[in-house]
Amino acid sequence: MIDKKYTLVIDQGTTNTKVAIISRDGSLKHYSYMEHAQIYPKPGWVEHDPTEIWEKTVACIKGAIETSKIDPRQIACIGVANQRESVVAWSPKTGRPFYNVIVWQDRRTSDLADKLKGEHMQVIREKTGLVADAYFSGTKIWWLLKNVNDVRENAREGRLLFGTMDSWVIWNLTRGSKDVLTPELGGAHITDYSNASRTMLFNIHKLNWDNELLEIQGDVPQIALPLPRPSSDKEIYGYVGPEISKLLGDTDVPVSGDIGDQQAALFGQACFNIGEIKSTYGTGNFILMNTGDEPVKASTNLLSTVFYSTEEGRAKYALEGSIFITGGAVQWLKDSLRLISDPEEIERLARDIKDSGGVYFVPAFAGLAAPYWDQYARGLIIGLTGGTGRQHIARAILESIAYLNMDVIETMTREVGNSAQKVKVDGGAATNDFLMQFQADITGMKILRPLSLETTSQGAGYLAGLAVGFWSSLDELRGNWKLEREFLPKMESEMRDRLYNGWKAAVRRSLGWAKEVPWE
């Protein structure tokens, strides 16, 4: 076992970047957190500044070390988790981005996704486990190649790198180090199988970039794409470059773990057995089920995806249901409608009334993902009367999060014939006791909330640590998981069915709405 005390994890998310210091027992010694700007150039477009993200990553590394007062020379390794489908293009020579990050929520490629559904859906489904949607990275790369002159010209000449945010962060972490897997590119230009599986360009059976997929909408140069690697890589992606080494006591710390944020949470929740499920409550919700050594060929609109890998050429798989907007609707209630002053207030409002008064809220701000996959759905509030107050709207928003989770969990368990009775939860909104109890009631399942909700950071840290011998086995990691509270269903089945049927009726009214209105 390696004789050091900590792993360092970078969790680069949709609204913020967090750097955590994790001890051997899985606890967070400390973390540093910084938000970054959300850029909306046009309706439906969402971008981030990649330079701002990297600068705040560096600041968070420095902040976590200084505030925790640890000796940085006790850091054994670095793991990375990230918002998965967001894409950036940059110069390997200068490190300068050619365009902003196009974020996973961005809908500018909806027309292209429609075309792909009509012409290539079968091959995309069979090779990638995904559906054709603007959500995934491939459509964003094709948009950059078509619409940004610098991207097109530099890609043609081999002077450009494409990557999801893990690739951007790891390249910058290792920039200037000679001991990396791709020294000719100025840093380690890699991604792991889990992130690659979200691009719509990656064959999840063969675990490599697929030439047929790369050529669907004009040739994506494979030389510009990152090298796919296991999530926990004993070969080591690379060692930190001079910029980061100075922050770590002038030591050569290995970057040895990389995984998409939702897969990281499944791993951090110790869902190592087939059939185990977790749901992460963040900007959106992401429900994943461990399906073992083979991807499930889902007949419904769920996704088969790589869970994680600890061995080149092999992987564990998961079934996933992605929900675009859940916690983001709470933020909307605060920032746009100003009906609450802080996110915690929504629970107090929801408890002020006995029910939502027949009000339903469908948070389809960016369309609806699983199990509907309707990029033209739009948000609605329905069931309003003269007696409707802000409490009813607040409660309807929280209930919508539970309903959307129910949509996915019901579909998922039916798909695999799984009789799962429990769901592990994490993420910011999992602290909301009202929501967790309603989730248990509407699903009829046990909801298990762990002592630590930072499961994304834990998962990425665990994988990095396994690669260098900081932890020795999955059993050791399973022992780190501790229950904080269990929520048991209390609602009568008749009431559950009535409420859920009302939800389904509300969703039907939101589907396809953007096709009917002239301003879209």
Q: What's the rounded Cα separation, in Å, for the pair 409 and 371?
A: 10
Rg (C-alpha) for the chain, rounded Å, is 22
Q: What's the rounded Cα separation, in Å, for the pair 500 and 505?
A: 9
Spatial CA neighbour of 229 closest among 196, 184, 206 = 196
Q: Which residues contact 73 (CB under 8 A, 6 or more apart)?
A: 248, 249, 251
Q: Is-contact 335 329, C-beta < 8 A?
A: no
The gap from C-alpha 4 to its chain's centroid, in whole angstroms, comes to: 29
Please state, in angstroms and as integers, the Cα–Cα distance from residue 66 to each residue in 19, 21, 257, 310, following that order.
Answer: 12, 11, 23, 32
Q: Is-contact 8 61, C-beta < 8 A?
A: yes
Low-confidence stretches of the chain (pLDDT beneath 70): 1, 517-520
Angle in degrees, 0-180, between the axes of helices 149-156 and 137-147, rounded to the nearest 10: 100
- Its pTM stands at 0.90
Q: What's the rounded Cα separation, in Å, for the pair 387 and 318?
A: 45
Spatial CA neighbour of 60 closest among 120, 107, 19, 119 = 19
Q: Provide the pLDDT for residue 239.
A: 97
Q: What's the rounded Cα separation, in Å, for the pair 466 and 2?
A: 10
Q: What is the dihedral of CA 344, 346, 351, 353, to 10 degrees?
A: 160
Please, how many CA atoms are within 13 Å of residue 269, restricted to the half-sphere of its CB?
Answer: 30
What is the total residue count of the chain? 520
Please, how many CA atoms are within 13 Å of residue 93, restricted to the half-sphere of its CB?
Answer: 6
Q: What's the rounded Cα separation, in Å, for the pair 488 and 433?
A: 12
And the tokens for 443? 């699903």
Please state, in angstroms and as integers, the Cα–Cα distance from residue 460 to each residue in 62, 66, 233, 265, 389, following that order.
Answer: 19, 22, 12, 8, 43
- Whose structure tokens read 């009568």? 492
Q: Provide the pLDDT for residue 518.
A: 55
Residue 96, φ and ψ in degrees, nearest 5: -80, 130
